[in-house]
A and B are shown apart, each in its own frame.
Chain A
Amino acid sequence: GAGVSQSPRYKVTKRGQDVALRCDPISGHVSLYWYRQALGQGPEFLTYFNYEAQQDKSGLPNDRFSAERPEGSISTLTIQRTEQRDSAMYRCASRRAGMNTEAFFGQGTRLTVV
């Protein structure tokens, strides 16, 4: 696709439900990043992949959060047993290979847990 696509754009879920957020990166981009963004704040790192390999998941808040990118393209961030504190904008970004390549961001998924 032309840009990084995230779906859904908005998700309202009840506390305790599981949610899956999808990221479709720019075709050919090697690295894919997940960030969480509080209102008015910069992106907070969650995890990232190079191809299908999850390189760093140290930013995932707890074991209710997981991510996968099984074929090195589309990625899914899953939050199990959602809590109200999980409400945030979840952004995905992707980059081409190379140390001086910029990241391109998706429009984000606004998650609200009620």
Chain B
Amino acid sequence: ILNVEQSPQSLHVQEGDSTNFTCSFPSSNFYALHWYRWETAKSPEALFVMTLNGDEKKKGRISATLNTKEGYSYLYIKGSQPEDSATYLCAFGNSGYALNFGKGTSLLVTP
């Protein structure tokens, strides 16, 4: 099992604030880095899958960057809204298609 670390564990911001969180993963045998959004009582749903060092992905107000050499990815949310409240999971994929998840960052956005 490969260690995937996410920080912070939880975050509470005001509506309109921009925020970011970190995912750290092993820098060897890298294949892909996934970000998922997980709302309470639902199943995790994919936001981004990134495979190349330096990759940047964007979906609306949410974006992610990837540094495979140093083993980290950032997820950014610009102008947070209450509907962004969820747990954000990252997952590291290595050769052979194993997919190991971090414990998640729980985001709460209050009006």
The contact size tier of chain A is 20 to 34
In the bound complex, residues from chain B placing their C-beta under 8 Å from that of A93 are 99
Least distance between A37 CB and chain B CB atoms (Å)? 9
- Flag if B46 contacts A103 (CB, 8 Å): yes
Tell me whether A2 is interfacial, beta carbon within 8 Å: no
Given contacts A42-B87, A56-B98, A108-B43, contact A103 B103 (CB under 8 A): no
Q: SS class of chain B's interface: helix, strand, loop or mixed? A: strand
The contact size tier of chain B is 20 to 34
Tell me whether B96 is interfacial, beta carbon within 8 Å: yes
- Flag if A43 contacts B97 (CB, 8 Å): no
Tell me whether A65 is interfacial, beta carbon within 8 Å: no
In the bound complex, residues from chain B placing their C-beta under 8 Å from that of A1 are none
B90's closest neighbor in chain A, by CB?
A42
- Flag if B34 contacts A102 (CB, 8 Å): yes
Least distance between B24 CB and chain A CB atoms (Å)? 14
Q: Which of B2-49 contact A (CB under 8 A)?
A: 6, 31-32, 34, 36, 38, 43-46, 49
- CB-CB nearest 4 A-B residue pairs: A102-B46, A105-B43, A42-B104, A42-B103
Query: Which B residues are closer than 8 A to A by beta carbons?
Result: 1, 6, 31-32, 34, 36, 38, 43-46, 49-51, 87, 89, 91, 93, 96-104, 106
Query: Which A residues are closer than 8 A to B by beta carbons?
Result: 30-31, 33, 35, 40-45, 48, 50, 55-56, 58-59, 91, 93, 95, 99-108
